Structure 1
Amino acid sequence: MTGDVASTSVESPPALDPTKTRSHGSFGRYVAIRFLLMVPTVLILVTLVFFLIRLTGDPITAALGGRLPADQLAERIAEAGYDRPVLVQYFEYLAQIFTFDFGTTITDNRPVAEVLLTYGGATAELVFYSLIVAFILGIPLGMVAAALRDRWPDAILRVSAILFYATPVFFSGLVAKLVFSVWLGIFPVSGRASVRTEIALTREGGTGIYLIDAIASGNPAYVQDVLMHAVLPAMTLGLLTAGIFLRLVRTNVIGTYNMPYVDAARSRGVSEFRLVRKHAYRPALIPIITVIGLQIALLLGGAVLTETTFEWQGLGFQLAKYLSARDFVAVQGIVAMIAIIVALTNFVVDIIAAFIDPRVRY
């Protein structure tokens, strides 16, 4: 009987690996949720900017009031549609943003999209340089502080990190210009390149990112000139984020010292610096990846003061110019684009962090 049952029993199909299915599904679900959350974030930021600007009145009156006769001013307001209800203007503006139409500037009658394309490359270049400075300084110094924790080098580095973050960007920029440009004469005072280099790069066309254009030109003198002009602005803005990276790396590297595999390596006589470099370094990078999106927002905010201090012709410089002219159409468009860039950056960083560390998905 038993033999008959055994002979007629059907072999069960192989079981699926639940961890693989769950991991695959959770990652896709995580990406979808993060993307859906990005949309209301941008919408809230754009809405806040729109209604805060409307508290000052219509943009035409804010920019041209007192400089045009009353009848011409009323005609400009009607042409722009600012005499309609605010909600009508708001929903029309949202529809324009979806087509990347951010309006037309009032002071120089340029499409805001053209301003974004013309000067966006300069700001992206400055942010890239600043991130390089932050990584080069913040991560190694954070590892040194962790290896020498609770000693005098650690105390000096922690205080330096606070100073890097707390010092206003415009103040550190002015001090850097005074010391390295006026007194020592090492670096240029302002601008993205010398006049000769700038004329050559703009005449040849290109991406608007001077380093790429200089490399494409094949002239080493242009590359050197562009890099020399970038040192002080990049250091000024990069130190702001370097202080955050330094403290973040130090905290996370010290946290890994209590892990069993680190204790095992220490028991074998591995030095503290080798423990940091070989065993505690990589886990400490995951938190840095997760905060890069927030640092992009910080760098874009600091770029306004940095570009103004060094006359770096980017979006921050243009934003300050349009603010002083009370051209709120241009201000609204630039701020909306910055909000979109920050939201997209956070989305990409979240996906990278979830791919590297599966714990982020849950």
Structure 2
Amino acid sequence: MNRQNALFKYILSRIAITPLMIWIIATMVFALLRIAPGDPVDAILGNRANETARELLRSRLGLDQPLLNQYLSFLNNILHGNLGESLNTQQPVTEIISKALPASLELCFTSLFIALLIGLTIGFSGIAKPEGKTDFIGRFYGISTYALPPFWAAMIMQIVFAVILGWLPIGGRFPASLIEPEGTGFLILDSILSGNWLAFNGAIRHIILPSSTLGILLSGIFSRSLRLNLGKTIQTNYVEAAMSRGLSFRKIVINHALPNALLPVLTIAGLTIASLVGGALLIEVTFSWPGMALGLQEAISQRDYPVVQGIVVTVAALVVLIGIIVDILIAFIDPRIRY
């Protein structure tokens, strides 16, 4: 079997298991929400509501149905793209997600860009003189940034750059005095497309602190990964053969070692994007960033089943999709991959 056929079958197999993975995650979310303590009716009406009002609301929400019927209805709605309505605001969950998802993705991509820029620079600079001062500083940086508590780092950034220096806003996504540009939901992109440079400046100023905080915290992962993989790649036979031919160390690293060392970094970057969509909770809460993580935290505290289920299923689908894309990219790039 040639490589093209093997790659095609590999892609089909990865795509084929996607619905199964999403179904398993959706089922787990449905079950966990039902066995968790608390009642969404109490969260909406309070504990002092009379029993008649409680039963009417329970019937309207479908919570009086057998659990199996609720589960089948839940799966049927997902298949038809209907994630239900919020128990508290009666707003369609798809509408809530459509507003929160661009905010999270904008923060994720900006943070990832900063993380890659800092992390790859530090990781690459350390390989020039292994075990030297620069290498030691890079390793210490990678360990220390990875160990920093996100909420602590976020508050320090707020205190220094927003409170003491007053350079940047302390939180939020956009100035309250301006009207958000319409379009894709990505405020920076929409500002550029509409030529609204005042809105662009406001969006940039608000995203700098949360994205820089998250980028610095993530950069240590990339610096350590690149440094470790680049160090191993330099010790391989083909690099030693290139050095024996008289090629410069810099040329060998850039042209031969670095492309192979970047493959694990690509994997980490893809998984980081997926995890940050719903995982940057502490950053979004600290900076009042209206993304998926903040929406999920609020929905959990309010026992808003449809919103929690919709956000988790959406994030799970993104994680699976990005994971498949990364696997396919690596399979195309690395001829050593076998299926």
* Normalised TM-score (structure 2): 0.93
Per-residue CA distance 1:198-250 (angstroms, 9 max, x = gap): x152xxx2111101111012133322221121111111122232211111111
Match of 2:186 in 1: 209
Asked whether the 8 Å contact 1:169–1:302 carries over to 2, the reply is no
Match status 1:229 vs 2:206: yes
DSSP-derived class of the 1:187 partner: coil
Match status 1:193 vs 2:167: no
Structure 2 distance, partners of 1:149, 1:298, is 32
Match status 1:124 vs 2:122: no
Letter of the aligned partner of 2:211 in structure 1? A
- 1:287-302 aligned at under 5 Å gives the runs 287-302=264-279
- 1:307 positional shift: 1.3
Q: 1:50 aligns with which of 5, 25, 30?
A: 30
Q: 1:281 aligns with which of 258, 271, 275?
A: 258
Per-residue CA distance 1:277-296 (angstroms, 9 max, x = gap): 33321111111222333212
Q: Which runs of 5+ in 2 are unaligned?
A: none
Asked whether the 8 Å contact 1:126–1:230 carries over to 2, the reply is yes
With over 3 angstroms needed to count, the CA separation of the structure-2 counterparts of 1:107 and 1:136, relative to structure 1, is: same
Structure 2 distance, partners of 1:185, 1:265, is 53
With over 3 angstroms needed to count, the CA separation of the structure-2 counterparts of 1:67 and 1:325, relative to structure 1, is: farther
- Moved beyond 6 Å, runs of 4+: none
Letter of the aligned partner of 1:242 in structure 2? S
Deviates more, 1:235-244 or 1:245-254: 235-244
DSSP-derived class of the 1:358 partner: coil
With over 3 angstroms needed to count, the CA separation of the structure-2 counterparts of 1:302 and 1:184, relative to structure 1, is: farther
- 1:1-362 aligned at under 5 Å gives the runs 22-55=2-35, 56=37, 59-197=40-178, 199-201=179-181, 205-267=182-244, 272-362=249-339
Structure 1 distance, partners of 2:143, 2:40, is 40
DSSP-derived class of the 1:30 partner: helix
Letter of the aligned partner of 2:4 in structure 1? H
Structure 1 distance, partners of 2:192, 2:14, is 37
Asked whether the 8 Å contact 1:30–1:361 carries over to 2, the reply is no
Asked whether the 8 Å contact 2:191–2:200 carries over to 1, the reply is yes
Structure 1 distance, partners of 2:202, 2:51, is 50
Asked whether the 8 Å contact 1:58–1:82 carries over to 2, the reply is no
Asked whether the 8 Å contact 1:192–1:313 carries over to 2, the reply is yes
Asked whether the 8 Å contact 1:143–1:276 carries over to 2, the reply is no
Per-residue CA distance 1:110-157 (angstroms, 9 max, x = gap): 111110112211111111101111111111211112223222322221
- 1:62 positional shift: 4.8
Structure 2 distance, partners of 1:66, 1:295, is 41
Asked whether the 8 Å contact 1:237–1:299 carries over to 2, the reply is no
Letter of the aligned partner of 2:63 in structure 1? Y
RMSD: 2.0
- 1:43 positional shift: 1.4
With over 3 angstroms needed to count, the CA separation of the structure-2 counterparts of 1:299 and 1:200, relative to structure 1, is: closer
Percent same amino acid among aligned pairs?
Answer: 38
Letter of the aligned partner of 1:28 in structure 2? F
Per-residue CA distance 1:68-93 (angstroms, 9 max, x = gap): 32111111111222112212211210
Structure 1 distance, partners of 2:132, 2:272, is 29
Letter of the aligned partner of 1:286 in structure 2? L
Structure 2 distance, partners of 1:63, 1:41, is 32
Deviates more, 1:107-116 or 1:295-304: 295-304
Structure 1 distance, partners of 2:40, 2:180, is 37
Q: Which runs of 5+ in 1 are unaligned?
A: 1-20
* Normalised TM-score (structure 1): 0.87
Per-residue CA distance 1:259-278 (angstroms, 9 max, x = gap): 33422443455554444333
Letter of the aligned partner of 1:324 in structure 2? S
Structure 2 distance, partners of 1:194, 1:104, is 29
